[in-house]
């Protein structure tokens, strides 16, 4: 299915930050959490609606991806890091993954 661009503003369901959407925005730039609303990018057809926790960071500069895991159904999705994502939160996420890998 083709990507559907939806320009939508939203309030983050995790941290409460107001986010101005661009049509490509799919997660909060402050806390990196997302919401499980799409079966295919932009279609808004996923009935789950659970919160998607950022669980790890994959890739290398400049192609990092945030790995999200749904807290309701455990679906895993990978999305590109956005230019406005909080750098400190991204660093903390990369450290979280390093800590998980060392166990």
Q: Is the pLDDT of residue 33 over 90?
A: yes
* Number of domains the chain contains: 1
- Domain holding 39, by residue range, is 10-101
53 occurs within a structural domain: yes
What is the reported pLDDT for 53?
A: 97
Cα gap 102→50, rounded to integer Å: 29
Residue 60 reports pLDDT greater than 60: yes
Does 98 score more than 70 pLDDT?
A: no
- Is there a domain that residue 4 lies in? no
Domain assignment present for residue 3? The answer is: no
Identify the three-state secondary structure at position 101. Answer: helix
- The answer to whether position 2 is within a domain reads no
Does residue 37 lie within any of the structural domains?
yes
Per-residue pLDDT, averaged over 26-31, amounts to: 96
Tell me the pLDDT of the chain averaged across its residues: 89
State the pLDDT at residue 5. Answer: 83
CA of 87: how far to CAs of 30, 39, 92, in Å?
9, 28, 9
Q: Is residue 45 part of a domain?
A: yes
According to DSSP, residue 81 is labeled: P
Is the model's pTM score more than 0.85? yes
pLDDT digits (tens, 9 = 90+) for 61-74: 788 999 999 999 99
Per cent of the chain over pLDDT 90 is 68
Q: 29 lies in a domain?
A: yes
14 in a structural domain: yes
pLDDT the model gives residue 102? 43
């Amino acid at each position: 299915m083709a990507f559907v661009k939806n320009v939508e503003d939203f309030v983050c369901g995790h941290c409460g930050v107001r986010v101005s959407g661009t049509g490509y925005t799919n997660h909060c730039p402050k806390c990196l959490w997302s919401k499980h609303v799409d079966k295919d990018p932009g279609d808004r057809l996923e009935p789950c609606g659970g919160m998607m926790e950022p669980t790890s960071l994959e890739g290398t500069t400049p192609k990092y991806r945030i790995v999200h895991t749904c807290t309701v159904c455990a679906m895993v999705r990978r999305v590109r890091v956005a230019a406005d994502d909080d750098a400190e939160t991204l660093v903390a996420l990369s450290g979280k993954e390093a800590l998980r890998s060392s166990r």
